[in-house]
Amino acid sequence: MTLMLLDSGSLWYRAYYGMPDTLVAPDGTPVNAIRGFLDMSARLISIYNPNRIVVCIDGDWRPSWRVELFPEYKANRLEDEDSDEEAEPDTLTPQIPILLDLLDEFGLPMVGVDDYEADDVMATYAHTHEGPTRIVTGDRDLFQLVDDARDIKVAYLAKGISAHDLVDLKFISDKYSIPGERYALFATFRGDPSDGLPGVKGIGEKGAALIATHFATIEDAISAAQEGDARLPSGLAKKIVAGIDYLKIAPTVVNCARDVPLPSLEISLPKAPTDLSKIYQLKDQYALGASVDRLIAALNW
């Protein structure tokens, strides 16, 4: 009973930039993100053959509880200083409601929860559902969810669909030279500029990897830094001590929430409806062509 979790925002941004902007509907509406999203979803369903699927959506891309702890969280993505809206390409914005309407017609379960990000939704599903789980994203933050014992892996799309990596603990260990299960710890110290997370000042990827190699928790690393543990160079130890205030809040900001109040929802792969006319109407209206047909075929309708 494989569960596939689609990181919707990551996929439609990747689709938008990966498909030509010459793809438009008869009325001129851009559809490159829609077509790319449908193509990717169809391909991934065919590859991993899930029994269950959820399209995960941001209820809030800057949850209040994260911003309250760390006001700079994703502030680098704000459209302007007085806005709470994420900057988004003008020709992507009108495509998203159309895509969501089409996915709804396909009966694909879509879940977004107020004041939580899609990452938190995916983490909670992965944490609470049994069976193999495949998390589809172009975001390495979700490597923290990988769990070989529970067969939770990330289909990481940084190289595109054809060359994507299926991330397990060995992949993380080989890529970052750390124990694979300590990715969240590593990311906490390293930071992530794309999310406006600085990490601990002065600690880059190599320093974060050294910390994650020798210590299992933030508390262990802080204690070692304060006690002059020989496994920490003195300069690195000083940076850890200087960053204690940040380290107190960082886990809540960096780590995915795993206790999101998920709705009671049927998440089995949808069965073919008796009437596909609305899907075909949207296909024709927006010139979605073979992209719709590919998803229909992937669902074995």
What's the chain's average pLDDT? 94
Q: How far are the Cα atoms of 12, 161, 217, 257, 275 from residue 293, in angstroms, in the given order?
A: 18, 18, 48, 36, 15
Q: What is the DSSP letter of 268?
A: B
Residue 87 has pLDDT above 80, yes or no: no
Burial of 274 (0-12, 13-18, 19+ CB in 10 A): exposed
Taking the C-alpha atoms of residue 31 and residue 102, their distance in angstroms, rounded to an integer, is 12
Q: What is the pLDDT of residues 170-225, one digit of tens each?
A: 999 999 999 999 999 999 999 988 777 889 999 999 999 999 999 999 999 999 99
Which residues, at least 6 apart from 203, have a Cβ–Cβ distance to it below 8 Å? 189, 190, 191, 211, 236, 239, 240, 243
Looking at per-residue pLDDT, the higher value among 283 and 1 belongs to 283
Query: How confident is residue 78, by pLDDT bands cut at 50, 70 and 90?
Result: confident
Residue 83 has pLDDT above 60, yes or no: no
Taking the C-alpha atoms of residue 30 and residue 83, their distance in angstroms, rounded to an integer, is 25
What are the structural domains, with CATH classification, of the chain?
A: 3-176+257-298 (3.40.50.1010), 180-254 (1.10.150)
Q: What is the pLDDT of residues 65-74, one digit of tens each?
A: 999 999 989 8
Sheet holding 3-7, edge to edge: 110-111, 52-56, 3-7, 133-137, 152-156, 165-167
Query: What pLDDT, on the 0 to 100 scale, is given for residue 79?
Result: 62
Query: How confident is residue 86, by pLDDT bands cut at 50, 70 and 90?
Result: low
Q: Residue 284 is encoded by which pair of tokens? A: 């024709």
Residue 88 has pLDDT above 90, yes or no: no
Q: What is the pLDDT of residues 90-115, one digit of tens each?
A: 899 999 999 999 999 999 999 999 99
Percentage with pLDDT > 90 across the chain: 90
* Alpha carbon of residue 268 to chain centroid: 21
How many CA atoms lie within 13 Å of 172's alpha carbon, on the beta-carbon side?
28
Residue 125's nearest CA partner among 30, 258, 242, 231 is 258
pTM over 0.85: yes
Q: What is the pLDDT of residues 154-168, one digit of tens each?
A: 999 999 999 999 999
Residue 261's nearest CA partner among 67, 133, 131, 114 is 114
Residue 301 has pLDDT above 70, yes or no: yes
